[in-house]
Amino acid sequence: MKLRAAFILPTYNEAENLRELVPRLAGLERQAEIVVVDDGSPDGTEQVANELAKQNPVRLLERRTKRGLASAVVDGVKAAQAPVVVVMDADLSHDEQIAPQLIAAIEAGSEVAVGSRFASGGSTEDVLVRRWFSWCAKQVARVVLGVRVQDPMSGFFAIRRDDFLRVAQQLKPRGFKILLELLVRLKPTRVTEIGFRFRSRTKGESKLTLTIALQYFRMIFDLWRARR
């Protein structure tokens, strides 16, 4: 079977969520592989992934220690075989129903397709403090880096695997979402944003901490310095 796309799912303690998400993804797109990148989750995520792999096109990449979201995404994309990759959280907050549209947008010539909380049709269940953080992050990205995308902080996006790998060397995965870094490095002219309703996580723990928020502003500063 010719693969059309790969879903890249970084996981840390997402056993319950993964059990639900994988069959949904497999039902949505038959010509897709699902690459789960787990960092030795103590909650048994790896066992669940292995179980799911019996019935679904799942490949599990096991890393021994927790090395951060962005580096998990990079390793997942490297391991994928399909020409298009869809990066998404495994916590069910990203609406998988729009994934086919993201894939189609890339196949139609977009360089990046973003699942967007702020584009038309998008919305969020986020609590106020996270909305505020996303809003600030977006304004800073716009003013400091000239990134015009509505939701540059989204963890839900599709891109050609080749394009991703071309700039992967330059990415400095700092444990945070890497879409913004990709946008700055690739300077894509054709970006498609597809709105979706961001669901709040119901199971498992959030990894968004103040440290990560601070890392974000550090990242903006580094990107700003690097582009001059």
Ligand X SMILES: Nc1nc2c(ncn2[C@@H]2O[C@H](COP(=O)(O)OP(=O)(O)OP(=O)(O)O)[C@@H](O)[C@H]2O)c(=O)[nH]1
Site residues, ligand X (CB under 6 A):
10-12, 14, 37-39, 66-69, 72, 89-91, 93, 155, 201, 206-208
Q: Among ligand X, Mg ion, none, what binds residue 38 when CB lies within 5 to 8 Å by partner kind?
A: ligand X
* SS3 (DSSP) at 58: strand
Query: C-beta of 89: minimal distance to Mg ion in Å?
Result: 4
Cβ distance to Mg ion smaller for residue 89 or 181 = 89
What residue number has its CB nearest to ligand X? Answer: 206
Q: Among ligand X, Mg ion, none, what binds residue 186 when CB lies within 5 to 8 Å by partner kind?
A: none
Cα–Cα distance for residue pair 148/226, rounded to 1 Å: 18
Cβ neighbours of 64 (radius 10 Å): 7
Cβ distance to Mg ion smaller for residue 89 or 163 = 89
Q: Is 63 in contact with 75 (CB distance < 8 Å)? A: yes
DSSP secondary structure letter of residue 199: P
Within 70-89, which residues bind Mg ion (CB under 5 A)?
Answer: 89
Cβ distance to ligand X smaller for residue 10 or 111 = 10
CA distances from 153 to 45, 60, 120, 156, 205 (A): 26, 26, 16, 9, 19
Q: In what order do the strands lie in the sheet with 191-195?
A: 58-62, 32-38, 5-11, 84-87, 157-160, 112-116, 191-195
Query: C-beta of 227: minimal distance to ligand X in Å?
Result: 25
Query: C-beta of 142: minimal distance to ligand X in Å?
Result: 20
Q: Out of 39, 91, 111, 163, point to the residue binding Mg ion (CB under 5 A).
A: 91
Judged by CB under 5 A, the stretch of 75-83, 90-98, 102-110, 184-192 that binds Mg ion is 90-98
* Closest C-alpha to 215, from 188, 164, 172, 175: 175
Cβ distance to ligand X smaller for residue 94 or 161 = 94
Cβ distance to Mg ion smaller for residue 88 or 140 = 88
Task: State how far Cα 64 lies from the chain centre.
Answer: 21
